[in-house]
Amino acid sequence: MNKNQDENRCLAFYNFAEEQRKIWFWDVRFNALFQGTIDGGVAEPLWGNMNDETGMDSLYSKVMKCSHKIIGIPMCTDNILIYDISTKEAKLISVAIQDWGNKHTLKRGRFWDGVVYGDYLFMIGFWSAKVLKFDIVNEKIVDVIDLYEELKIPFEERTLSFKNALAIDGKIWIPSYVKNYIFALDPNNMKYTKIEMKKKGNGFSDIAYDGEDIWLSPRERGQFVKWNVQKNEISLYDNYPAEFHMEDQANVSVIKCCNGKVYVFPNKADKVFSIKKNADNAEMCVENAFNHYYESLGTSNEALKYLFVQKIGEKLYSFCRESKRVLSYDTEKGTLSVLKYTISEEESLRMSLQRGNAVPEECGSLSLFIKCILG
């Protein structure tokens, strides 16, 4: 097997659900649900919808594990995926929402994030501005609201509405991507309040919670917000590290609170950095474990680096789009490990044939090809 063939079997995903070191994820290339281990290696395909041709991109953005169910959040499909780990059976729940109000929603994504609260999963709009409440136990949609009018974005300029959200203190907090708004949603009755933040720059790329304060990252280079909701105290920070440089059209992509720091992962920028709050200010410092890895690839600038960043315990897992690897960073030890997730040669060939794709000669042996053909 040549190196290129092996690399072609690398899997890529927007997040993973984890329990006792097992992980489940939706691969964006094969458009299928996989199960593997948190340490990398060969993953097993569980289910894929070969007949769904609605997607221009990945059918599902993120997956959430709720008891014995894996739930796929619909991105470029109109169906919620429910996969039962116990029975290995899948079902699709139709999202009966026809008026998305934005042609980009169909091409680029209905929903992106999901927040579990009690027995419900709240799906957060992506290129739509809808928030959908899904009953996990009874497997049905029970409510949906549309925040488009509240965003005050002209119809002809409709764009990405939201990315991530969090459940904190009995409410679901949903920051706007292009306006300085954050919505506080009551998960019981779906009523909400809209709060405007006075800061430089427009919109928020992500939200995180350190156990005391809510952090909001700027969509573009601007001010970070630290917000203590209980005390109603807001602090703004833009004292970026001197070594940090952002290109035109750059943006802060992801923030994660871990081990006393807020880790900041930007796109089209040359450094990952962290924010450590103290009594009077917040110190921003570059994180060289990540930066040295990207420098070794020779593409430290103008790159869309991260498909996701996820926290498990005191470790951060980040998918590198350029190398097709997951970077596992131990924030306590300061060590970085590089993990590779692949599909087996046989399963790769089998899934390609199921989709009716042409299979180049170098992508599998003749005997394996015959085996897959004969089933």
Within 10 angstroms of residue 70's Cβ, the number of other Cβ atoms is 23
Q: What's the first-to-final CA gap in the chain, in angstroms?
A: 22
Region at 349 (left for phi over 0; alpha for psi -120 to 50; beta for the rest): alpha
Q: Is the dihedral of CA 283, 237, 246, 160 positive or negative?
A: positive
Please check whether residue 183 is in contact with residue 173, taking contact to mean a CB–CB distance below 8 angstroms. yes
Tens digit of pLDDT per residue, the chain (375 long)? 455 567 889 999 999 999 999 999 999 989 999 999 999 999 999 998 766 655 568 999 999 999 999 999 999 999 999 999 999 999 999 997 666 666 777 778 899 999 999 999 999 999 999 999 999 999 999 999 999 999 988 766 678 899 999 999 999 999 999 999 999 999 999 999 999 998 888 899 999 999 999 999 998 878 999 999 999 999 999 888 888 877 666 678 899 999 999 999 887 676 889 999 876 678 999 998 888 888 888 765 544 578 899 999 999 999 988 889 999 999 999 999 999 999 998 888 887 776 655 455 555 555 555 555 555
DSSP class of residue 361 equals G
User: Considering the entire predicted model, what is its pTM?
Assistant: 0.91
Residue ranges in 33-138 assigned as alpha helix (H): 103-108
Q: Which helix (H) or strand (E) holds 71?
A: strand 69-74
Please check whether residue 312 is in contact with residue 330, taking contact to mean a CB–CB distance below 8 angstroms. no
Q: With 0-12 CB in 10 A as exposed, 13-18 as middle and 19+ as buried, what is 192?
A: middle
Candidates 324, 348, 326, 338; CA nearest to 32 is: 348
Which tokens hold the place of 305? 């680096």
